[in-house]
Structure 1
């Protein structure tokens, strides 16, 4: 189906409707209603979900099920201050940002300015690293802060809503077209970083808990995505983090590296 939508003329006509935020908003409102509860068993079967890590509850609607919470202790957060942790469950790739603040994903090139729409902020990440965590419908859809520090106010960038599956990222520049929201984190151990949440098809709502400036803690919940898969992007400044070799090697092979919230993805460079 996605191949039809992204790689045929007729499919691209349908895509213009499917990527509109208005459609995602309608779907989201339906999934908030008790009438959506019968969708839960079929979704579990289709995605072969293992619910053993989750608190089993009488979810009143599909979105409450989709944003279900983990049992205590199943995602221990690495508290070593030398380690940068994953802010979410997902499939991770790591890309270098060159001196022109450009990085390439599949056949699409991006500039940091494309993502942030702030030239001054983009310049802070010249020569740094871009980490992309892609969440599928089967992943845990809540996310946390990757280090303690202070956050800026959130900035929302409106856009359309492509799927974030590889068939789409290979066909168009998804991450600079999709609706997204970001904050700048002034962290205690890894300098300034940008944490960005990217919406996806039928994911009209990025629900962040802290809209204003405030101190935050490593592992503290930052927010959640409602129905669908989506993406978190971390932009790291040059020389602040050494990414794990196995993650870099997977990206070189054009593979995504499975990671869980709280696990280390890199460490402070040795002096």
Structure 2
């Protein structure tokens, strides 16, 4: 399967989705679905994580870099202890410029972005499937606060930078972890499973300076799906590293309230055409409507 996306210049980029044949077998055959039930158990995920954290796993790094065309010059030059150590590598200073204009909404991560309205009945659409906000956070009262707002979905693939930051100056709540059945976030399976609903996830309530109350949700993926958020509650600045994903394509979902932000037109148009937009951590993707109101714009 080839997955189409556009960069910010409007150029169409075709990405090859790794493991299409294997995923098709897992989801579309009786034997495959039996195997799927086994490999998505949390115990299997833990064993896989231990293997990827072992020193022996280093032998897979060169092949991983070549297969996914990763530009290693963007990242810290050091010896990596394991496959996972490389996967969660830090980028060199200055390689991701954080837009500090207070009115700007920035990307919390690298990824492929889609934008959706949160409907009056508290549902939104992801790749032709319907999900409720309350399904994601398992809190209907909190979910109802975001009716009429915006849902931004950042899908990270293996070639993306897997660390993420705070998108605004904020007061952060504790982290709320929700157990789930781990499934892949690869686009090939969106029509087979409610992927985000089934996966383990962790969300945080952010009282932001320029966008009001927001929710950020990190979603785990098949086989590892491990989410590491570095902080408990507290105050944090825009651009400060919030956490990272260990091995596995993963996703960040950002929920913003009604009339708080205007998303850049190219991203909105791409989403209307069911095309993802390639974005990088720190770049502007929208503008605060609250900031405009304060200044009488």
Alpha-carbon contact 2:172-2:233 (below 8 Å) kept:
yes
Find the partner of 2:245 among 201, 210, 225.
Answer: 225
Find the partner of 2:67 among 46, 51, 65.
Answer: 46
Structure 2 distance, partners of 1:264, 1:8, is 43
Alpha-carbon contact 1:193-1:234 (below 8 Å) kept:
yes
The match for 1:241 is: 261
The match for 1:17 is: 38
Structure 2 distance, partners of 1:92, 1:203, is 22
The match for 1:174 is: 195
Deviation sequence 1:66-85 (CA, Å, 0-9, x none): 11111110101000000111
Q: Does 1:152 align with 2:155?
A: no
Structure 2 distance, partners of 1:176, 1:147, is 26
By how many angstroms is 1:203 displaced?
Answer: 2.3
Worse-matched range after superposition: 77-86 or 4-13:
4-13
Deviation sequence 1:50-95 (CA, Å, 0-9, x none): 1121112110111111111111101010000001110000000001
The match for 2:116 is: 95
Structure 2 distance, partners of 1:122, 1:71, is 37
Question: TM-score, structure 2 length as denominator?
Answer: 0.89
Query: Any idea what SS the aligned residue of 2:243 has?
Result: strand
Instruction: Give 5+ residue unaligned stretches, structure 1.
Output: none
Mapping of 1:180-219 within 5 angstroms?
180-210=201-231, 212-219=232-239
Deviation sequence 1:15-73 (CA, Å, 0-9, x none): 11122121111111111111111111111111121112111211011111111111110
Alpha-carbon contact 1:91-1:133 (below 8 Å) kept:
yes
Alpha-carbon contact 1:182-1:194 (below 8 Å) kept:
yes
Worse-matched range after superposition: 75-84 or 16-25:
16-25
Structure 2 distance, partners of 1:194, 1:30, is 33
Query: Any idea what SS the aligned residue of 2:271 has?
Result: helix
Worse-matched range after superposition: 197-206 or 217-226:
197-206
Q: Does 1:8 align with 2:25?
A: no
Alpha-carbon contact 1:108-1:169 (below 8 Å) kept:
yes
Instruction: Give 5+ residue unaligned stretches, structure 2.
Output: 1-21
By how many angstroms is 1:162 displaced?
Answer: 0.6
Alpha-carbon contact 2:75-2:89 (below 8 Å) kept:
yes
Structure 2 distance, partners of 1:204, 1:237, is 28
Structure 1 distance, partners of 2:87, 2:225, is 14
Size of the aligned set, in residue pairs, is: 270
Structure 2 distance, partners of 1:83, 1:7, is 43
Structure 1 distance, partners of 2:73, 2:267, is 27
Worse-matched range after superposition: 89-98 or 42-51:
42-51
The match for 2:279 is: 259
Mapping of 1:19-168 within 5 angstroms?
19-168=40-189
Worse-matched range after superposition: 31-40 or 71-80:
31-40
